[in-house]
Amino acid sequence: MTKDRQMTFGKYKGEDIKYIILTHIGYIMWCFENIEWFKLTDEEQDLYDAIAIMIKKERLPMTFPVEMMYKHIKDRESYEKLKTPFTFNYGYISLRMSEKDNPIFNTIEKYITHRIRRNSTKECSSFESLSGDLTGLSHSMNKEIERARLNGESDEEIYGYWGSMNDYKDLY
């Protein structure tokens, strides 16, 4: 087994590229859009395609333009059919155990955080990218706040205007 490639630049410098695809695919899309020399290996591209297709299939809300993410999918046939080994269950990105013969499974097995048995015939492996029922919402909110800060928006514009304590003194 070969060692997974790591990012050599940016805020994820030193992190496995596959882990970033699983946890922050928008960053990979940003790299495609903004860094001319940035490319994925075939294994990494297969994972990118599968996660991006899952996002489309599950209609997951993202804080970036998903159409830009979709244009970097190379497996157009799977994209057209929305065919992916991944699903989104209870806030987790999961891989159906019936898909464990899929080559993607072996390349990301080390990122499995736990195995969940949904019923007697189907088991899913879950990944850390969006863990917990509210983490997906929290992740989206944090990305939206990050976007707003990068656009120079003030705290008042981001969180709303609360006024001063004097505005509320006549209410009681």
For the chain, the distance separating the N- and C-terminal CA atoms, rounded to the nearest angstrom, is 69
Q: What is residue 168's predicted lDDT score, i.e. its pLDDT? A: 52
Mind listing the pLDDT tens digit for each residue in 106-138? Answer: 788 777 766 655 553 444 454 544 344 344 455
Q: What is residue 115's predicted lDDT score, i.e. its pLDDT? A: 63
- If phi > 0 it is left, if psi is from -120 to 50 it is alpha, else beta; for residue 91 that is left
How many C-alpha atoms does 102 have within 13 Å on its Cβ side?
A: 18
Q: Do the domain assignments include residue 62?
A: yes
Q: Do the domain assignments include residue 82?
A: yes
Q: Do the domain assignments include residue 139?
A: yes
**Range 37-58 average pLDDT:** 94
- If phi > 0 it is left, if psi is from -120 to 50 it is alpha, else beta; for residue 147 that is alpha
Using an 8 Å Cβ cutoff, are 126 and 114 in contact? Answer: yes
Banded pLDDT at 139 (limits 50, 70, 90): low
Alpha carbon 45 to chain centroid distance?
Answer: 14
Residue 145 has pLDDT above 50, yes or no: yes
Mind listing the pLDDT tens digit for each residue in 61-70? Answer: 888 888 899 9
Q: Which is it for the CA torsion 165, 170, 171, 172, positive or negative?
A: positive
Residue 117: which domain range?
Answer: 17-150
Q: Do the domain assignments include residue 142?
A: yes
Q: What is residue 61's predicted lDDT score, i.e. its pLDDT? A: 84
Q: What is residue 134's predicted lDDT score, i.e. its pLDDT? A: 41
Q: Do the domain assignments include residue 9?
A: no
Q: Could you give the number of structural domains in the chain?
A: 1
Q: Do the domain assignments include residue 107?
A: yes
Count how many residues are written for the chain: 172
Q: Do the domain assignments include residue 101?
A: yes
How many separate helices (H) and strands (E) can be counted in the chain?
A: 8, 4
**Range 27-36 average pLDDT:** 93
**Range 90-113 average pLDDT:** 77
- Residue partners of 169: CB distance under 8 A and separation at least 6: none
Q: Do the domain assignments include residue 158?
A: no
Q: What is residue 132's predicted lDDT score, i.e. its pLDDT? A: 42
